[in-house]
């Protein structure tokens, strides 16, 4: 009897249900995929293989080329073959590719049909060279990475058909020209994670959005219980979506209200409440120093603290900005928010702001150390996702307090030895990270390359613009604090984004995380995911990583 079956992914003897129904993108610069197969019976197995293109393939893709015949036998030894999918470069297109493999047996006269589904990306006039950024357009999705994700960052991952009892065919898929990755520890040693994408249908071309995410289902599954936006929703099947503790907390149940910026309010009242005597604060050593600011490690009431202050050279305007930004977390109580402890204004030119101490310091500097493999510091993919969840929880708490963050970035977070992360205010960030801020026409120093399109063009900030910035935070985490858009002129950023260009997929970044980033960078603010949707997905993804790695 014949069995028409989908493929099950097996990792270390366990069927990975997260890989089912996962349609994988083949980026435009990848033109060949490779397979290895072997009959596990004591005899070879006849096969018939064919490659079919979906709508839009004509004119965009050359006919497929295989280095094996369309009919033959699967040998009892490991054999590798390849399929070439060459773009013509004549037009932009996202083409559905189906590889049909028909395997039969001599003795039992049964047969099994396997379908490998891929989405091939072709871009007009663009060859197979690597790009550092991607362009999102209506009806197409272009991405550039240094490695081929045939499944989810898979290389030599075992895939076994488990539904056929009379015959067994073992198929390996491997990435071509796999490049080094910035991921460390567990992800470096276990890059073969086959995880279902719980994201749903991307916005349609008519919505005005550039994004069409090829690695995400476009069918009509049931909406997630967290999806509240009509314009942009996440979707998940009921048996796959697990409600996390965080996603069911009351932080998510707050209605959308207008968010305020405490930096625009005179901080005098906050400072009066925070004021303490100067003798209670001890400055022990300088931890960091900029042009107009200093960061000390010191003590306050017998506890180790971080103390920020300005230099005498700082102007009155800079001191005022420092106090407004440094006290914006006043009154906040959340495990992922660094709340200011106290302040001293005995010297109005050099006020002191005191914060709790995190012994591993600034998150950006910590990630750079991990990337450079200094002090034997490593972070697994699970660690990075957990850090992202903590940052997201902190931002969500600020939103619940009607505060718009406006500067989400790894430089504005601290981390301790237990990898507990707290988001911070951005006081002195411009001074300590001058390459991350730029002055545009309004002469205000802004984190241009972290800002949403509407923030750059119209100076509009909202929960949705914080979602955009959080997408850049995810990109920073997966690149270990690389600089976004390093070659783009800050004055050209709005034009660059308006033309559909976005950050490319980092090396070693799981497709699921990159899909999340891409959703965060949709042009239309209302089409971006809401914070609760991001949290539910990341928590689900984290649980899956813990289970299958």
Mean pLDDT calculated for residue range 323-347: 93
- pLDDT tens, position by position, 122-154: 888 765 433 445 555 443 333 333 222 223 223
Handedness of CA 331, 333, 334, 336 (dihedral sign): positive
Distance CA 363, CA 473 (A): 11
DSSP sequence for 427-444: TTHHHH-GGG-EE-TT--
SS3 assignment, position 63: coil
Cα of first residue to Cα of last residue in the chain, in angstroms, is 36
Distance CA 177, CA 498 (A): 33
pLDDT number for residue 135: 56
Helix axes 381-400, 531-548, angle to 10 degrees: 160
Q: Are 216 and 200 in contact (CB under 8 A)?
A: yes
Least confident of 100-104, 269-273, 526-530: 100-104
- pLDDT tens, position by position, 397-456: 999 999 999 999 999 999 999 999 999 999 999 999 999 999 887 678 899 999 999 999
Fold for domain 246-253+361-549?
A: Transferase(Phosphotransferase); domain 1 (1.10.510)
Distance CA 484, CA 472 (A): 8
Annotated catalytic residue within 132, 188, 407, 442: 407
Active site residue 407: yes
- Domain 3-179 CATH (choose: 2.60.40.2170, 3.40.50.10860, 1.10.10.1800, 2.60.120.260): 2.60.40.2170
Residue linked to tokens 């072709």? 122
Helix (H) or strand (E) holding 272: helix 268-274
- pLDDT tens, position by position, 278-290: 999 999 999 999 8
| Residue 501 φ/ψ, nearest 5 degrees | -80, 140
- pLDDT tens, position by position, 209-224: 222 233 333 322 222 2
pLDDT number for residue 77: 84
pLDDT number for residue 209: 28
Cβ count near 94 (within 10 Å): 23
Angle, vertex CA 183, rays to CA 180 and CA 185, nearest 5: 110
Q: Domain locations in the chain?
A: 3-179, 246-253+361-549, 261-357
Q: pTM value?
A: 0.59
Of the candidates 209, 196, 179, 186, the one whose C-alpha atom is nearest the C-alpha of residue 505 is 179
Q: Are 408 and 484 in contact (CB under 8 A)?
A: no
- pLDDT tens, position by position, 294-324: 999 999 998 999 999 999 888 898 999 999 9
Q: Are 304 and 350 in contact (CB under 8 A)?
A: no
- DSSP structural state of residue 372: T
Query: CATH assignment of 261-357?
Result: 3.30.200.20
């Amino acid at each position: 009897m014949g069995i028409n079956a989908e493929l099950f992914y097996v990792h270390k003897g366990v069927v990975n249900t997260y890989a089912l129904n996962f349609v994988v993108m083949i980026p435009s610069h990848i033109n060949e995929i490779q397979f290895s197969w072997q009959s596990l019976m004591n005899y070879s197995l006849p096969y018939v293989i064919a490659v079919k293109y979906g709508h839009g393939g004509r004119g965009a893709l050359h006919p497929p080329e295989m280095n094996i015949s369309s009919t033959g036998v699967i040998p009892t030894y490991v054999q590798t073959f390849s399929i070439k999918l060459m773009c013509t470069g004549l037009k932009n297109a996202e083409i559905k590719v189906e590889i049909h493999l028909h395997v039969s047996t001599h003795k039992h006269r049964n047969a099994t049909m396997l379908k490998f589904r891929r989405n091939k990306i072709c871009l007009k006039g663009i060859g197979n060279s690597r790009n550092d950024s991607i362009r999102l357009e209506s009806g197409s999705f272009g991405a550039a990475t240094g490695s081929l994700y045939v499944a989810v960052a898979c290389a030599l991952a075992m895939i076994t058909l488990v539904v056929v009892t009379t015959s067994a065919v073992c198929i390996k898929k491997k990435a071509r020209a796999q490049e080094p990755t910035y991921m460390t520890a567990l992800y470096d040693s276990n890059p073969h994670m086959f995880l279902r994408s719980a994201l749903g249908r991307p916005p349609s071309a008519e919505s005005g959005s550039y994004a069409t995410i090829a690695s995400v289902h476009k069918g009509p599954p049931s909406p997630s219980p967290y999806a509240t936006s009509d314009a942009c929703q996440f979707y998940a099947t009921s048996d796959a979506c697990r409600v996390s503790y965080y996603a069911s907390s009351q932080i998510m149940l707050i209605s959308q209200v207008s968010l305020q910026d405490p930096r625009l309010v005179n901080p005098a009242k906050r400072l009066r409440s925070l004021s303490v005597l100067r003798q209670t604060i001890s400055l022990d050593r300088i931890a960091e120093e900029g042009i107009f600011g200093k960061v000390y490690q010191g003590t306050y009431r017998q506890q180790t603290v971080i103390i920020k202050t300005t230099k005498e050279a700082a102007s009155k305007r800079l001191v005022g900005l420092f106090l407004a930004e440094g006290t914006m977390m006043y009154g906040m109580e959340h495990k992922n928010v660094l709340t200011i402890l106290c302040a001293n204004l005995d010297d109005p030119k050099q006020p002191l702001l005191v914060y709790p101490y995190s012994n591993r310091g600034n998150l950006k500097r910590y990630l750079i150390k991990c990337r450079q493999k200094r002090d034997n510091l490593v972070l697994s993919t699970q660690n990075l996702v957990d850090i992202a969840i903590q940052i997201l929880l902190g931002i969500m708490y600020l939103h619940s307090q009607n505060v718009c963050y406006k500067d989400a970035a790894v430089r504005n977070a601290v981390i301790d030895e237990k990898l507990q992360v707290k988001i911070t205010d951005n006081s002195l960030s411009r001074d300590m990270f001058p390459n991350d801020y730029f002055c545009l026409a309004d002469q205000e120093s802004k984190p241009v390359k972290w800002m949403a399109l509407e923030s750059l063009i119209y100076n509009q900030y909202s929960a949705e613009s914080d979602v955009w910035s959080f997408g850049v935070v995810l990109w920073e985490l997966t690149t270990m604090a690389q600089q976004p858009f390093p070659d783009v002129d800050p004055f050209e950023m709005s034009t660059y984004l308006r033309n559909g260009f976005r950050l490319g997929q980092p090396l070693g970044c799981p497709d699921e995380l990159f899909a999340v980033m891409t959703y965060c960078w949709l042009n239309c603010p209302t089409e971006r995911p809401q914070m609760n949707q991001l949290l539910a997905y990341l928590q689900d993804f984290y649980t899956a990583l813990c289970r299958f790695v």
